Amino acid sequence: MRMFRKATGLFCLVNSRGWKPPFIAPLRSPVLDSPFPTRGFAVMLTEDLQQRSARTIMNTYARLPISLVRGKGCKVYDAEDREYLDFVAGIAVNALGHGHPDLVTAIERQARHLLHTSNLYYSEPQVLFAERLVAHSFADKVFFCNSGAEANEAAIKLARKYSFDKYGPDRHEIITMNNSFHGRTLATLTATGQAKVQQGFAPLPQGFKYADFNDVASIERQMDQRTAAVMLEPIQGEGGVVVAEGAFLEQLHALCRDRDVLLIFDEVQTGVGRTGTLFAYEQYNVRPDIMTLAKGLGGGLPIGACLATDDVAQAFGPGSHASTFGGNPLACAGALATLNALLDDRLLERSRAAGAYLHKGLQTLQNRFSVVTAVRGLGLLQGMELSIDGQSIVQDCLARRMLINCTMGNVLRFVPPLIVTNEEIDRLLDVLSGVLTKRLESLPHS
């Protein structure tokens, strides 16, 4: 038998055949006392969920030992109704936080009308969303898909097709950066400049070279007559929250123009307001030829996009690329609501101010704690590098009901919803201060 907590506030036992014994334990659930009850859903207790997950789901994630069941704003609640402050936001996905009314309304309305049609037919939500993206970016055309990896796959194919049409089959190589991250498909895994994520998947696709981030000379050394494009992230999120230098991007842009090489910006993590502007490239005197988006694009719905100028986009014709689910009505309706909220509700301005406040607070911690070796980032994509293991800090914060993330083993990453308040940032800083104080006390003194 397994125990479920139902949103009615009662605990009940259910056996493997779905039969419920006549006895219902008269225990009131704290869910009923919450201002945001999970109405109509049975909530499985975390321990049971972990065991069943281990039996049925492939072991590809190192999950933390909590089960999140609902959220509101920047807060989430687990199956035992404990509250957490969320500075992960689904890894930079929940741009509007949890349960934003505009997003919920858009999803509910579209779900009542039409969920999916395929791209054999025209779709109004898709066209409206594409028009909004084009109006607020450098791009002229958009291709919709379902994730960041798919968006980057589209960018890789588009760059190669453009170069094939213009120069022939020998010009197909793409230069990416060391410590980059572009996805988990075979092509994007190869584009990712980290050997650890490629291990065990050989033979990898050919046609990729690697250069050092923030080093134009390193990129130029890799360029030759076979180079079709250079692909990079304005901020290497998975690579430790390393920010591109303005002079680097300007020099790279000039180099690409001189060699007629396409410049691709992977803004899967930095796009959609994450850095304080709608797209990170806006903070540099540079416009790419191709840009990829996902994560925050749908506010929590799975959607990705590859944007390009007209000159480049014309390389794709019917049959050259496709996606069954890409740009479906439900995802585009939610994404349009997300984008409208960012543009119309002054959330970009708020996120810039919140990002500056968070950055300053993290710098204060750096001045106080010797184990904090660097603070870097733009907007609400901030990183704090440590001289000690970062994952243990993540665990300590979890115990204090604070959700954060760690990359590269020792860089704490903070990507809260763009609606985060200064008070919520203060709570994060207080938790980090307490955790670091305790950790320093436990370290051996020389």
Out of 295, 316, 396, 414, which one is annotated catalytic?
A: 295
Q: What's the confidence (pLDDT) of residue 20?
A: 39
Within a domain: residue 74?
no
Q: Check pLDDT > 90 for residue 236.
A: yes
- pLDDT over 70 percentage in the chain: 90
Q: Check pLDDT > 50 for residue 414.
A: yes
Chosen domain end from 47, 63, 79:
63
Q: What's the confidence (pLDDT) of residue 29?
A: 39
* Conformational region of residue 89, where left means phi above 0, alpha means psi within -120 to 50, and beta covers everything else: left
Within a domain: residue 178?
yes
Chosen domain end from 48, 63, 78:
63
Range 11-15 average pLDDT: 40
**141 is written with which tokens?**
């055309």
Residues 6+ apart with CB under 8 A from 143: 154, 158, 305, 306, 307, 308, 313, 316, 321, 323, 326
Q: Check pLDDT > 80 for residue 5.
A: no
Within a domain: residue 50?
yes
Q: What's the confidence (pLDDT) of residue 41?
A: 54
Summarised one tens digit per residue, pLDDT across range 362-371 is 999 999 999 9
Summarised one tens digit per residue, pLDDT across range 58-88 is 999 999 999 999 999 999 999 999 999 999 9
Chosen domain end from 319, 344, 369:
344
* Runs of H (alpha helix) within 320-446: 329-344, 347-368, 391-399, 422-442
Number of domains in the chain: 3
Range 208-237 average pLDDT: 98
Query: What is the domain-level CATH number for residue 436?
Result: 3.90.1150.10
DSSP 11-75: EEEE-TTS---S--B----GGGGSSS--TT-EEE-HHHHHHHHHHHS-S-----S--EEEEEBTE
Within a domain: residue 303?
yes
Residues 28 and 153 in one domain: no
- 2-6: strand order across its sheet: 11-14, 2-6, 42-44
Summarised one tens digit per residue, pLDDT across range 312-335 is 999 999 999 999 999 999 999 999
Q: Is 295 a catalytic residue?
A: yes
* Domain that includes residue 285, residue range: 101-344
Summarised one tens digit per residue, pLDDT across range 176-207 is 999 999 999 999 999 999 999 999 999 999 99
pTM of the model: 0.90
Residues 318 and 372 in one domain: no
Of residues 183, 187, 186, 178, the one with CA closest to residue 215: 178
Residues 230 and 335 in one domain: yes
Residues 364 and 337 in one domain: no
Does an H or E element contain 264, and which?
A: strand 262-266
Summarised one tens digit per residue, pLDDT across range 344-354 is 878 999 999 99
Q: Is 181 a catalytic residue?
A: yes
Of residues 244, 231, 311, the one with CA closest to residue 281: 244
Residues 337 and 352 in one domain: no
Residues 118 and 55 in one domain: no
Range 375-393 average pLDDT: 97
Q: What's the confidence (pLDDT) of residue 44?
A: 77
Mean pLDDT of the chain: 91
Residues 208 and 235 in one domain: yes
Within a domain: residue 181?
yes
Out of 138, 143, 144, 181, which one is annotated catalytic?
A: 181
Out of 266, 279, 369, 396, which one is annotated catalytic?
A: 266
Within a domain: residue 417?
yes
Q: What's the confidence (pLDDT) of residue 443?
A: 78
Residues 53 and 19 in one domain: yes
Summarised one tens digit per residue, pLDDT across range 115-167 is 999 999 999 999 999 999 999 999 999 999 999 999 999 999 999 999 999 99
Q: What's the confidence (pLDDT) of residue 46?
A: 85
CB 362 within 8 A of CB 384: yes
Within a domain: residue 93?
no
Residues 291 and 362 in one domain: no
Within a domain: residue 302?
yes
What pLDDT band is residue 45 in, cutting at 50, 70 and 90?
Answer: confident
